[in-house]
């Protein structure tokens, strides 16, 4: 069960991952936290939670440590070793990698947002399907309306399942979105299951139009054609971003450059750290052994010289522990968002989207089938002037205008007189859903989607 709480810095939603494992997906975060020191407190859901990232960096740190110890304790002239050549190589690679890695990450983010837009487009067409079916189909066609809504929701589920590589339809049958017969037909469609559903939608609209179940069959059928074909295109475009990866040669070359640069960073850091460690160790060891400093060591000429060595030591440690981490972190980030339909923390939360879409379609269907009093009067054939005049009539004891059906009691309550009063404010007429009032404070404190904070 999800819930909303007062702390909403980072909100996660529990879900089922691959092989039924319990996981959590991020659904909301507070952007303001990234401008504070609290940004260092978060690891879950970031690239720093990747074991692969730290395993790769440990290799470079181990290389630097091995070279540092070798030079400091087994090379008598470690201080005279030059590291400028390695510094030039690292600087050269940094220029190339900075450009290529920025372009790679920018392209990956653009594809991620385009995939999200495809999901939004599919969402909109499913909602439009429910509205059109509720408007054009008569009230006695509840089974057909429910079937069209069910097909739309099934297509949304199947789009995520196909992107995740899941072929199991048992979950959809358990949810009541597919029958056994429909699931058996879809099993023959392989990866095109989400598209096949829209063929059923269009076929059902066509048959209903032939049987004269629409008041305006030509218009309804034309809208149905547009919705079905557009939704099928949205599903196809979503799979295009998932199945079509960036050129292999480009990504491979970028990965090689990042690894080679990290190796040179490890070598450079090992040499510099070895030189600094050898100089500090020799400077401290000679007096304790009874030797003069100028016979066996190169002492610090001044306190400033000692501070320069310490500064170089600290600078190289920071360089070693940041550059490989951030370069590999950017590679890992681009890899994570290449398919945002998976089970990772930063992927699209399928369960939340499906729950929101189901609630939205239910609300659209109810609101369309139970319109306000003016629209109901017009649907009954009353002239517009008479329907509008009915809004000015005094309300009955139940709070509804005369002629308004009692089944709207739970949906519409309040004073309708303010609708035609130029001096009245919008607050004079309140649209209520089974409650006396809904304020902003109540909406923030009332569990709506059951969000939970981890």
- Residue 276: how many other CB atoms lie within 10 Å: 25
What is the average per-residue pLDDT within 2-9? 46
User: Parallel, antiparallel, or unpaired for β 22-29 and 452-453?
Assistant: unpaired
Which structure tokens are listed for 314? Answer: 């600290």
Check pLDDT > 80 for residue 363: yes
Query: How confident is residue 8, by pLDDT bands cut at 50, 70 and 90?
Result: low
Backbone angles phi, psi at 27, to 5 degrees: -120, -15
- Please report the pLDDT score of residue 128 as a whole number: 94
The residue to which tokens 């048992």 are assigned: 170
Domain boundaries, the chain: 53-369, 373-453
Q: Got the DSSP string for 244-293?
A: -PPPHHHHHHHHHHHHHHHHHHHHHHHHHHHHHHHHHHHHHHHHHTT--H
Q: How far is CA 438 from CA 363, 432, 443, in A?
A: 17, 7, 7
Pair 258, 101: CB distance under 8 Å? yes
The residue to which tokens 């979950």 are assigned: 171
Between CA 42 and CA 327 the distance in angstroms is 19
What confidence tens digit (pLDDT) does each residue in 396-410 have?
Answer: 444 444 444 444 344
Between CA 24 and CA 9 the distance in angstroms is 15
What confidence tens digit (pLDDT) does each residue in 287-296 have?
Answer: 433 434 444 4
For the entire predicted model, the pTM comes to 0.74
The burial of 356, by beta-carbon neighbours within 10 Å (0-12 exposed, 13-18 middle, 19 or more buried), is given as: middle
Check pLDDT > 60 for residue 81: yes
Closest CA to 228 of 157, 80, 129: 129
The residue to which tokens 């009353």 are assigned: 382
Length of the chain as a residue count: 454
Query: How confident is residue 273, by pLDDT bands cut at 50, 70 and 90?
Result: confident
Between CA 410 and CA 268 the distance in angstroms is 74
168 against 8, higher pLDDT: 168
Between CA 284 and CA 301 the distance in angstroms is 14
Closest CA to 197 of 181, 186, 209: 186
Query: How confident is residue 392, by pLDDT bands cut at 50, 70 and 90?
Result: low
Angle between helix 303-336 and 51-74 (nearest 10): 150
Between CA 263 and CA 374 the distance in angstroms is 74
Handedness of CA 134, 181, 16, 235 (dihedral sign): negative
Report the DSSP beta bridge partners of residue 11.
28, 453
């Amino acid at each position: 069960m999800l819930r909303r709480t007062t702390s909403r810095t980072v909100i996660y939603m529990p879900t089922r991952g691959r092989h039924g494992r319990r996981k959590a997906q991020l659904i909301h975060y507070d952007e303001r936290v990234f401008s504070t020191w609290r940004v260092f407190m978060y690891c879950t859901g970031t690239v720093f939670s990747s074991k692969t990232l730290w395993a790769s960096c440990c290799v470079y740190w181990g290389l630097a440590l091995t070279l540092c110890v070798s030079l400091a304790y087994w090379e008598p002239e470690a201080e005279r070793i030059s590291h400028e050549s390695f510094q030039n190589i690292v600087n050269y690679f940094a220029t190339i990698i900075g450009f290529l890695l920025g372009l790679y990450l920018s392209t990956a983010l653009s594809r991620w947002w385009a995939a999200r837009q495809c999901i939004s487009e599919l969402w909109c067409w499913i909602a439009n399907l429910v509205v059109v079916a509720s408007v054009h189909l008569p009230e006695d066609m509840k089974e057909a309306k429910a079937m069209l809504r069910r097909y739309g929701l099934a297509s949304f589920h199947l789009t995520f399942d196909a992107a995740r590589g899941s072929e199991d339809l048992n979950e959809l049958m358990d949810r009541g979105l597919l029958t056994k017969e429909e699931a058996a037909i879809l099993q023959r469609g392989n990866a095109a299951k989400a598209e096949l559903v829209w063929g059923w939608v269009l076929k059902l609209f066509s048959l209903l139009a032939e049987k004269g179940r629409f008041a305006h069959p030509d218009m309804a059928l034309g809208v149905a054609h547009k919705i079905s074909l557009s939704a099928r295109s949205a599903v196809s475009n979503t799979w295009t971003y998932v199945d079509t990866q960036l050129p292999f040669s480009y990504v491979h070359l970028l990965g090689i450059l990042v690894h080679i640069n990290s190796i040179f960073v490890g070598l450079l850091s090992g040499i510099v750290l070895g030189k600094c460690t050898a100089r500090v160790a020799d400077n401290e060891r000679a007096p304790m052994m009874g030797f003069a400093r100028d016979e066996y060591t190169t002492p610090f000429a001044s306190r400033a010289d000692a501070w320069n060595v310490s500064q170089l030591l600290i600078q190289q440690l920071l360089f070693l522990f940041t550059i490989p981490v951030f370069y590999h972190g950017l590679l890992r980030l681009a890899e994570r968002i290449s398919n945002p339909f998976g089970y990772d923390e930063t992927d699209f939360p399928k369960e939340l989207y499906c729950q929101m879409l189901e609630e939205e379609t239910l609300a659209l269907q109810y609101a369309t089938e139970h319109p306000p009093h003016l629209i109901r009067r017009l649907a009954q054939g009353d002239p517009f002037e008479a329907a509008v005049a009915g809004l000015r009539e005094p309300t009955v004891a139940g709070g509804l205008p005369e002629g308004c059906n009692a089944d709207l009691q739970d949906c519409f309550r309040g004073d309708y007189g303010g609708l035609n009063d130029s001096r009245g404010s919008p607050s004079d007429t309140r649209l209520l859903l089974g409650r006396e009032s809904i304020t902003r404070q109540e909406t923030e404190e009332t569990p709506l989607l059951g969000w939970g904070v981890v």
